[in-house]
């Protein structure tokens, strides 16, 4: 009897280890070692103080990336606006909501920062450098316009970079297919910039060690307590923002319980915590929102646009961290300076999602623009930035999930009965549709059309 050859069973491919976990561990170890060295070798002339240049080098590397990060993200952000408008009401409504919520989140960060005053008493003036001479309003406005189009990317003037990025973004909107091709090139350039930024972030343990050692060596336990205060206050603020602000809005508009929605997205939260990036869960969020009952057009516009324009956690972080640095360095900002910084952050924070370190670069960019003497203080929070990145990413992700449900309700492109079934566990999500990182549309196809049924009443079903 002839035998039929049997192909050897395919061995499952070994999952590639996520190297960012080692970076996470290295930062933790570096922070601990920095605290120990600072306590063992205190004083302005001690070993700990001499390690300060390590933190300065890392800050300089981050400053080097400010202009390309802001240019690419703003240009692509303007391109996203043009894309969103092509779908009409959904895009315009989503953009208006995102701008309001991001501004609100920035305001919350300012309020909390002014209440708790993190960094008070540290008086770390040794991190400052000579600030440029002050100018009047006319010279300030004239200084926004660069000498050449390219010099804005090399001069170190953030407002010039922002100005040119806005001009380029709006110009590309009017160039049709040619503009789309150029946007693709800029998107590739952004990928290169973020790749370099990721490489720089691998030096974060060294920068964190030097910065923390120098700070603790000059201030003792007071620095450790101040950093812990900032971190705890930031986590509490993010939790309150999700539960109180987003939860109330979601319940009032859609009749949905925020905790049930978060339980439904539990696996995505684990992915975000392990990567410190909400972008890692982007395909799954699209799939789950479609499965939840929001129509594909609404999900397709709201989720990608939200990842560039709806960064609630990053907004809270930017303002609280800025106030911490200003207070720690003995140069607190007045109300006018805080508002000016807030306006800049509203624009510059767009596109900071997805890559660990982009938030740090945006923070440095905001300070470079409005208070350049404070940029050196970014080194103070390098050690705890990684710890706060999880809260930023989780808050950003939750804000985008809530926004998608709200857009579905406001445009009447959501199956509210299906929402109740999914969140109650009667219609579970099929994880098989997410294998190989694609197929997010299969779930909706298997379960039927996700568009709202015409026979359904307008009232939401509370879940």
- For 387-426, the pLDDT digits (tens) are 677 788 889 899 999 999 999 999 888 898 999 899 988 8
Count of C-beta atoms within a 10 Å radius of residue 202: 14
**CB distance 301 to 94 below 8 Å:** yes
Cβ pair 418, 293 in contact under 8 A: yes
Q: How many helices (H) and strands (E) does the chain have?
A: 21, 0
* Phi and psi torsions of 294, nearest 5°: -85, 135
Residue 435 confidence (pLDDT): 45
- Say how far apart CA 436 and CA 433 lie, in whole Å: 9
Q: How many Cβ atoms from other residues are within 10 Å of residue 350's Cβ?
A: 26
The whole-number pLDDT of residue 164 equals 84
Tell me what the mean pLDDT of segment 161-176 comes to: 81
pLDDT surpassing 50 at residue 456:
no
All structural domains of the chain, each given as residue ranges with its CATH number in brackets, are: 20-128+149-429 (1.10.3860.10)
- Stretch among 135-139, 160-164, 218-222, 286-290 having the lowest mean pLDDT: 135-139
Q: Could you give the percent of the chain with pLDDT greater than 70? A: 70
d(CA 86, CA 95): 13
**Alpha-carbon separation of residue 451 from 307, 434, 455, 456 (angstroms):** 23, 21, 12, 11
Q: Nearest to residue 77, comparing CAs of 139, 169, 11?
A: 169
- pLDDT higher at 15 or 306: 306
Q: Ranked by mean pLDDT, which of 97-106, 151-160, 279-288 comes out on top?
A: 97-106
What is the end-to-end Cα distance of the chain in Å, rounded? Answer: 64
Per-residue pLDDT band at 437 (split at 50, 70, 90): very low
Average pLDDT, the chain: 74
Question: If we measure between CA atoms, which residue out of 374, 391, 377, 389 comes closest to residue 338?
Answer: 374
DSSP letters spanning 381-412: GHHHHHHHHHHHHHHHHHHHHHHHHHHHHHTT
Largest CA distance in the chain: 96
Long-range Cβ contacts of 278-283 (<8 Å, 24+ apart): 278/307, 278/353, 278/354, 278/393, 278/394, 278/396, 278/397, 278/400, 279/307, 279/353, 279/354, 279/355, 281/397, 282/307, 283/434, 283/437, 283/438, 283/440
> Per-residue pLDDT tens for 119-133?
666 656 554 433 334
- Which residues make Cβ contacts (< 8 Å) with residue 408, sequence separation at least 6? 254, 293, 294, 295, 298, 414
φ, ψ at 414 (rounded to 5°): -145, 140
Please name which of 116, 109, 117 lies closest in space to residue 320, comparing C-alpha atoms.
Answer: 109
Q: Which residues contact 133 (CB under 8 A, 6 or more apart)?
A: none
- State whether residue 84 is helix, strand or coil: helix
Q: State the Cα angle at 34 between 31 and 39, rounded to 5°.
A: 130
Q: How confident is the model at residue 83 (pLDDT cuts 50, 70, 90)?
A: low
With a cut of 80, say whether residue 272 has pLDDT above it.
no
Question: CA 52 to CA 49: how far, in whole Å?
Answer: 6
Query: Contact 233/112 with Cβ under 8 angstroms?
Result: yes
């Amino acid at each position: 009897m002839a035998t039929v050859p049997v192909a050897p069973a395919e061995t499952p491919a070994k999952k590639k280890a996520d190297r960012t976990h080692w970076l996470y561990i290295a930062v933790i170890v570096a922070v601990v070692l920095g605290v120990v060295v600072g306590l063992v070798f205190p004083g302005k002339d001690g070993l700990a103080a001499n390690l300060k240049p390590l933190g300065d080098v890392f800050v300089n590397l981050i400053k080097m990336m400010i202009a390309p990060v802001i240019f690419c993200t703003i240009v692509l952000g303007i391109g996203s606006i043009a894309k969103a408008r092509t779908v009409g009401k959904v895009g315009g409504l989503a953009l208006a909501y995102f701008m309001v919520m991001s501004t609100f989140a920035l305001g919350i960060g300012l309020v909390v920062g002014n209440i708790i005053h993190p960094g008070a008493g540290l008086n770390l003036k040794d991190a400052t450098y000579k600030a440029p001479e002050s100018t009047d309003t006319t010279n300030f406005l004239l200084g926004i316009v660069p000498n050449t189009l390219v010099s804005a990317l090399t001069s170190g003037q953030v407002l010039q970079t922002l100005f040119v990025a806005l001009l380029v973004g709006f110009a590309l909107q009017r160039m049709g297919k040619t503009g789309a091709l150029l946007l693709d090139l800029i998107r590739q350039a952004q990928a290169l910039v973020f790749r370099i930024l990721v490489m720089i972030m691998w030096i974060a343990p060294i920068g964190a060690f030097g910065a923390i050692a120098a700070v603790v060596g000059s201030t003792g336990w007071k620095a450790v307590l101040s950093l812990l205060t900032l971190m705890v206050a930031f986590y509490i603020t993010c939790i309150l923002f999700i539960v109180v602000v987003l939860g109330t809005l979601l319940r009032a508009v859609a009749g949905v319980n925020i905790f049930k929605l978060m339980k439904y997205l539990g696996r995505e939260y684990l992915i975000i915590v392990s990567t410190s990036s909400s972008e890692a869960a982007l395909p799954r969020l699209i799939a789950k929102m479609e499965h939840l009952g929001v129509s594909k057009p609404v999900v397709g516009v709201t989720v990608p646009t939200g990842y560039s324009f709806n960064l609630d956690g990053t907004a809270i972080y930017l303002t609280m961290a800025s106030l911490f640095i200003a207070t720690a360095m003995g140069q607190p900002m007045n109300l006018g300076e805080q508002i000016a910084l807030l306006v800049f952050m509203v624009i510059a924070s767009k596109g900071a999602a997805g890559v660990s370190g982009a938030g740090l670069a945006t923070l440095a960019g905001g300070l470079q623009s409005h208070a350049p003497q404070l940029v050196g203080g970014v080194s103070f929070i390098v050690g705890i930035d990684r710890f706060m990145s999880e809260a930023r990413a989780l808050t950003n992700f939750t804000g985008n999930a809530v926004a998608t449900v709200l857009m579905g309700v406001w445009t009447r492109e959501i199956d509210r009965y299906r929402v109740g079934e999914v969140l109650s566990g009667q219609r579970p999500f099929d994880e098989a549709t997410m294998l190989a990182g694609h197929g997010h549309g299969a779930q909706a196809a298997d379960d039927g059309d996700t568009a709202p049924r015409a026979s359904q009443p307008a009232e939401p079903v509370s879940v």
